[in-house]
Amino acid sequence: MGTTTPAQRVLLGEDWRHWRVFFVRAHHRCLGSERPLPYSANRGKESVNRQALDELKQQIPLMGYLQGHDWRPARRLSRGRWMGLCPLHADHKPSFLVDPHKDLFYCYGCGRGGDVIRFAELYHQVRFSQALVLLRQWRGAGPLLDEAARFYGIQLERHPEAVAYLLQRGVRSPELIEHMRIGYAPGGCLRGWLTQLGYPLEALRQAGLVTGAGYDAYVRRIVFPLEGNLYGRSLSASAPPHRFLPGAKGGLYAWDQVRRHPEVILVEGLFDYAALWEAGFRNVTCSLGTHLNARQIGQLCDGPRTAYLAFDADTNGRGQKAAQSLARRLTEQGVKVRIASLPDGNDPNSFFVQDGNARQFQSLLEAARG
């Protein structure tokens, strides 16, 4: 296996020579030489200095990043190490080793390991340079995004076209608007607000709140704050309907409020979520699309439950095909799954907008097939 330094070893016991040893590098494999040279990312177009990488890793402890993405240790080992289920693959027996002192991880199941940067690469399925962007956003974008969301929330009641759109989509309850922290981005004024509060323009650019030219990125969009991101739904037919800030979409929507229910309802979109929540279904969550990331799959599988998939009944059948595919994945991991069949051409939001009610939707759930 070659030679390595002690800092690069994850040891299974007190004397590594008497155990089978797995090796992981303290730095990303692409960093190459151990000398403090800059790392060339994006095919040589960008340069990342090793010192900057080390500072980033010091600011984001691996254990904190893992727990921030819903990883829970199953048992404590010697020398302060922890073992738990691997968040990188379907794991049924704890095989994911974390050493908080070295800020390293290794999975005995899938054979992958490294530092917090490597974990971000694997977990979000992105390139090295994109992983750095995600980590920097996770480290420092929280207060900035919270302030942007607060500003958008203030704007909502000031713009009648935004309120009219929400009414059209069945969002009427002030309680629901407060619960989801729904806001409105008119465009042209967020940059001035945030710079007055002391946020530098470059920070706004890095977060994706303004464009490279300095204009507001969200214009005439209903805004929903997410975990480390903002979703914007356009009011204009000439603009792309859906928009997120750069970075990951996060986990299942409002999962902390839903995870204790023995039965959960999974829908595609936030307006679907809004319709069900307003109808009294408090066990609803949203995946923000039909493709669930590894974290969302892990959340649905983190305990015994039944998942009702209420995906769109598209005329082309795409929503139902996605539900069937997801049902197979979840069933393989021990989750009980039921697929709800909505009327043709409907999604949960349009079902309620078109005078459907909670009793009728409950009947659809009871008739859901396994």
Class assignment of domain 6-139? alpha beta
Q: What is the pLDDT of residue 90?
A: 86
Strands 263-267 and 306-309, bridge-based pairing: parallel
Do 141-244 and 255-366 show the same overall fold?
A: no
Three-state secondary-structure class, residue 257: helix
Beta-bridge partners for 114: 105
Give the residue from 299, 291, 307 showing the smallest Cα distance to 253: 299
pLDDT, tens digit only, all 370 positions of the chain: 344 433 333 333 333 333 233 333 333 333 333 333 344 444 444 456 788 888 888 888 898 889 888 888 999 999 889 999 999 998 889 999 999 989 999 999 999 999 999 999 999 888 888 888 788 777 766 788 999 999 999 999 999 999 999 999 999 999 999 999 999 999 999 999 999 988 889 889 888 999 999 999 999 999 999 988 999 999 999 999 999 998 778 899 999 999 999 999 999 999 999 999 999 999 999 999 999 988 899 899 888 999 999 999 988 889 999 999 999 999 998 999 999 999 999 999 999 999 999 999 999 999 998 8
Q: What is the pLDDT of residue 98?
A: 96
The structural domains of the chain, with segments of one domain joined by +, span 6-139, 141-244, 255-366
Residue 89's contacts (CB-CB under 8 Å, 6 or more residues apart) are 107, 109, 110
Which residue do the tokens 């967020």 mark? Answer: 190
Q: What is the pLDDT of residue 137?
A: 74
Residue 272's contacts (CB-CB under 8 Å, 6 or more residues apart) are 286, 310, 312, 347, 348, 349
Give the residue from 215, 220, 247, 200 showing the smallest Cα distance to 152: 220
Residue 163's contacts (CB-CB under 8 Å, 6 or more residues apart) are 156, 157
The yes or no reply on domain 255-366 and CATH 3.40.1360.10 is yes
Name the pTM for this structure.
0.70
Contact by Cβ (8 Å): 271, 253 = no
Any long-range contacts for 188-191 (C-beta under 8 Å, 24+ apart)? 188/215, 188/216, 188/219, 189/155, 189/216, 190/148, 190/151, 190/152, 190/216, 190/218, 191/215, 191/216
Rounded to whole angstroms, how far apart are CA atoms 191 and 147? 11
Give the architecture (CATH level 2) of 141-244.
Alpha-Beta Complex (3.90)
